[in-house]
């Protein structure tokens, strides 16, 4: 990792209350190098520069860290190359994390990184959250269900619901909200959820605005 990019990661993480030591920096460096290497052969991400990956994958993933309690059980839906689940696990080993994605090559990469970093209490599952067997296996297991780019907000809330414990949180990582999504917020996704919090986040890059939405399962 280039020194300026390492500093970007350090300072950006600090803005979310995450202080990276030598071991966590080394883990992110390995993750970065392997992602760039694998991406030359299979399409894991459209972002292909060190700086872009640090900002739009690593720091974006860490932006939700302040809203997750210690030792929380997390389901990361549509996790792609492992975001946000793997960066969250790197900075806080107390999380118990399940990653799920429907694209086999992305799940293969997730499992590769998990092995390479020696991470425990994290698994990568190949499948779709709408599949009945997946729902039966993981129903009501999680404190939080989260996603960065899985689907529109209404679909995310619908599919998250069965996996959450009572009082669990569906955490959506969105860009700037669209009109229909604002309407969902006003309606509280009917009676299934209560909007607990909406937080605007700006990443250290032009036009990188995020909205973090936390919905509590009623």
Look at residue 64 and give its three-state secondary structure: coil
Of 98, 113, 104, 105, residue with least CA distance to 58: 113
Report if residue 72 sits inside a domain: yes
Report if residue 116 sits inside a domain: yes
Tens-place pLDDT, residues 170-191: 999 987 766 666 666 666 555 6
Note the pLDDT of residue 201.
Answer: 85
Structure tokens at 4: 């300026």
Note the pLDDT of residue 41.
Answer: 92
Residue 5 pLDDT class (50, 70, 90 cuts): very high
Look at residue 11 and give its three-state secondary structure: helix
Q: Number of helices (H) and strands (E) in the chain: give both, helices first.
A: 9, 7
Mean pLDDT of 69-82: 96
Note the pLDDT of residue 204.
Answer: 72
Report if residue 18 sits inside a domain: no
Cβ partners under 8 Å of residue 84, min gap 6: 60, 61, 62, 64, 76, 146, 148, 173
Q: State the Cα torsion 123-25-72-205 to the nearest 10°.
A: -100
pLDDT over 70 at 138, yes or no:
yes
Mean pLDDT of the chain: 91
What distance in Å separates the CA atoms of residue 190 and residue 160, rounded to the nearest whole number?
15
What distance in Å separates the CA atoms of residue 211 and residue 126, rounded to the nearest whole number?
28
Of 41, 138, 8, 27, residue with least CA distance to 91: 27
Report if residue 159 sits inside a domain: yes
Look at residue 33 and give its three-state secondary structure: helix
Report if residue 33 sits inside a domain: no
Domain count, the chain: 1
pLDDT over 80 at 208, yes or no:
no
Tens-place pLDDT, residues 16-55: 999 999 999 999 999 999 999 999 999 999 898 999 999 9
The partner residues of 146 in beta bridges, in order of sequence, read 76, 171
Report if residue 3 sits inside a domain: no
Range of the domain at 103: 66-217
Q: State if pTM tops 0.85.
A: yes
Note the pLDDT of residue 179.
Answer: 61
Q: How many CA atoms lie within 13 A of 113 on its CB side?
A: 31
CATH of the domain at 156: 3.40.50.150
């Amino acid at each position: 990792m280039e020194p300026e990019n390492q500093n970007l990661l350090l300072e950006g993480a600090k803005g979310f209350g995450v202080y990276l030591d030598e071991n966590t920096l080394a883990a992110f460096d390995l993750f970065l190098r392997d992602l760039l290497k694998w991406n030359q052969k299979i399409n894991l991400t459209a972002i292909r520069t060190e700086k872009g990956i640090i900002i739009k994958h690593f720091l974006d993933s860490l932006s939700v860290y302040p809203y997750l309690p210690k030792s929380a059980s997390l389901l990361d839906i549509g996790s792609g190359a492992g975001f946000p689940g793997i960066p969250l696990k790197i900075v806080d080993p107390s999380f118990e994390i399940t990653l799920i994605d429907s694209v086999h090559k992305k799940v293969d990469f997730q499992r590769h990184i998990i092995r390479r970093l020696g991470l425990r209490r994290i698994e990568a599952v190949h499948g779709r959250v709408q599949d009945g067997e997946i729902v039966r296996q993981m129903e009501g297991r999680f404190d939080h269900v989260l996603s960065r780019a899985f689907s529109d907000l209404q679909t995310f809330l619908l599919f998250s619901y069965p996996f959450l414990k009572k009082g669990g949180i569906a955490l959506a990582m969105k860009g700037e909200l669209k009109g229909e999504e604002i309407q969902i917020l006003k309606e509280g996704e009917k009676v299934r959820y209560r909007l607990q919090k909406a937080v605007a986040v700006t990443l250290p890059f032009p036009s990188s605005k995020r909205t973090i939405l936390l919905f509590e399962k009623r």
